[in-house]
Amino acid sequence: MAQKRMFSLKIIDTDLFLDMPVSSQLLYFQLNMRADDDGFVSSPQKIIKMVNCSSDDLKILTAKKFIIPFESGICVIRHWRIHNYIQNDRYQATLYNNEKANIENDNGTYNLMDTKCVQDGYILDTQVSVDKVSVDKFSVDKVILDEQQPENSNINKLQIVIDSWNSLNLTKVINIKGNRLLLLNTRIKDYGLEKTLQAIESIKQSKFLKGQNKESWIITFDWFVKPNNFIKVLEGNYIDKFTQNKEVTDETNIGNSTLYTNKKF
């Protein structure tokens, strides 16, 4: 098997790739480096642990269609033939002929011929972990629900979060799918609905997040649901210091029976 791997800017220098979390990009490079000469990776879960990434990163790569996973746990780099050309005298055919038989090479890009071979645990653009929900049709105005779904089902949690966000005077969420849906599901799973709503509520107390900063930057939903950003908002790192200081001062003033007035001299 060839020991060198190459990467094409046609793939990794795109907004689709660069918009992913850094950890997902890192995992993509690591999977490529360890793939066989046909682009198949035998142990993606092992690689995830080795490079300190998470299963979310693998799901993002799947949702963005950079890899194709199989029931066996193996995955293949979708644009392998665009990245790499291996000379015949160095090429070693993959051992995973069953998986290879289910894909076709279309101008350097692998595509599944039978989507049934995709592992159920992965989230694709057209399939999510929420039962009876079509990602393509999922939106704030129209959500496909199962009549027998419990009231506390995940889809209802998603709707509550979206409604809470849209109550802010910010860019509203019109539809939610792909990477956005994946990240929101993960935040709710990790922190719970109450903490997620608490984080959204704290945005109201931050002039910085609402655009009052040197760059006139305003928080977006896609920025908010990224793991590193979400925790900072939840912990109140962006809450106006005046608001926090005022709460402390008010408590002190009451305790000392002291009246403070603001005067300009």
For 23-33, write each residue's pLDDT tens digit. Answer: 999 999 999 99
Within 10 angstroms of residue 181's Cβ, the number of other Cβ atoms is 22
Where do the domains of the chain lie? Answer: 9-117, 125-254
Average pLDDT over residues 109-134: 51
> Is residue 137's pLDDT more than 60?
no
What CA–CA distances, in Å, run from 84 to 24, 33, 35, 55, 65? 20, 11, 11, 26, 18
Confidence of residue 2 (pLDDT cuts 50, 70, 90): low
Report the alpha-carbon distance of residue 23 to residue 45 in Å, rounded: 14
For 188-215, write each residue's pLDDT tens digit. Answer: 989 998 899 999 999 999 999 999 999 8
- The percentage of the chain sitting over the pLDDT mark of 70, rounded to a whole number, equals 75
Handedness of CA 229, 223, 195, 22 (dihedral sign): negative
The radius of gyration of the chain's CA atoms, rounded to the nearest angstrom, is: 24
Nearest residue to 197 (alpha-carbon basis) of 239, 158, 229: 158
Average pLDDT over residues 152-161: 76
pLDDT of residue 92: 92
For 183-192, write each residue's pLDDT tens digit. Answer: 999 999 899 9
Report the alpha-carbon distance of residue 88 to residue 92 in Å, rounded: 8
